[in-house]
Structure formats: C-alpha cells, structure tokens
Structure 1
C-alpha cells in the first residue's frame, strides 16, 4: 500500500481546557504513530502534526486549524484522509477501524 493514507493531528502545546488529565497533543500524536506502526507496520501511513496556534501557510491546514480554534473543538483532532476520526482523547479502536476501511490490514 505504502503511504497513500495521511493521518493529521491538529493540536497545541497547551492542553485543551476540557482535557486537563490527558496527555498533550504531541504525546498523543507520538503514541498514535507507535500504536499504528505496531499494528499495521511502519511506513504505511504518512503522519503530520499541525500546531493550531501556529499552522503552516498552506490553505488546507491553516483553515482547519482555524476551525478547531473557532469551533472550540477538543484537541488533538485526528483526521485520516480529511475525515475526523478522533477529538480530545482519540480512541485506537476508532482510528484502527478508519485505517482498515481504507484497505490497511493488521500484521500478524
């Protein structure tokens, strides 16, 4: 398959006000990478982390980062191929399901 699937995590260094007891967005991003790598293998997903308060200049990521802030979404917000699959405290089961719907198979 090889890197056709993109997982983007929108988050911030400061914790979401409603997510005080959860790991930071960056920690959850790294945790998702490790968990997905163990289940599906390395190099099958492309990962990006976007700081919602300092997004890159490209329109797509900048607009969604603004949306996260304006709509007071719980972050991190996890997208797979532009579909929101997790918000605040992403669930691995939901992320895995979205990846399998896109053709990834768990490794044995």
Structure 2
C-alpha cells in the first residue's frame, strides 16, 4: 500500500450533553491514534483533529465542522477519508474495518 489514508476526528474541548461519562474528543483522538498505530503501524494513516468550534480555514474541514454543530451530531465524529465511521463513542472494530476496506492490513 502506497497511499495515505486520512482519519479525521471532529470534536470539542467541552463534552457533548450525551457524552458525560465518556472521554473527551481529544482523549478519544489520542486513543484511536495509539490503537491504530499498534495494529497497522505508523506509515499509512494520517491523523487530524479538528475543533468544531474553531476549525481551520480550509475545506472540507471547516464545512464539515459546521455540519457537526448545525446537525447536533454527537462528537467526536470520526471520518476515514469521507466516510463517517463513528459518532460519540467510536468502535475500534468499525474504524479498523473502514481502514482495511481501503487496503490497510495489520502489520506483523
């Protein structure tokens, strides 16, 4: 595999109302990055964290951050490429499946 897969986590410093007992978006971003790196290595996935209340001034990040706020999505919202693979409490199994569908395989 020679192509980078982008994983983007949209979240905020404050916890969403539905996520009171869950880790923060940033903590879940760090957890996902560590778990994916352990299973697949560090070579083929790029990670980006986007604060939904202070997104970067570039597309598509700014537009999707606005969508998360406007549609009251439960954050963090996890995207692999342009596919939503998790909301609120992302499941590793779902994230792994999306990565593998894009050609990533576990490192040995």
TM over 0.5: yes
Distance in 2 of aligned mates of 1:15 and 1:2: 36
CA contact (8 A) 1:78 1:85 kept: yes
Match of 2:100 in 1: 100
Distance 1:68 1:61, change over 3 A: same
Aligned to 1:39: 39
Moved over 3 A (4+): none
Structure-to-structure mapping, 1:15-94, within 5 angstroms: 15-94=15-94
Q: State the secondary structure of the residue aligned to 1:53.
A: coil
* Change in CA separation of 1:90 and 1:56 when aligned onto 2, cut-off 3 Å: same
**Structure 1 residue 44 displacement after superposition:** 1.5
1:7 — aligned with what?
7
**Distance change (3 Å), C-alpha of 1:17 and 1:37:** same
Contact 1:9 1:78 in 2 (8 A): yes
Extract unaligned runs of 5+ from structure 1. none
Shift of residue 3, structure 1, vs aligned partner: 5.4
TM-score (norm 2): 0.96
Q: Distance in 2 between matches of 1:59 and 1:95?
A: 23
RMSD over equivalenced CA pairs, Å:
1.0
Partners of 2:16 and 2:37 in 1: how far apart?
26
DSSP-derived class of the 1:59 partner: coil
Q: Deviations over 1:4-42 (max 9, x none)?
A: 100000000000110000000000000000000000011
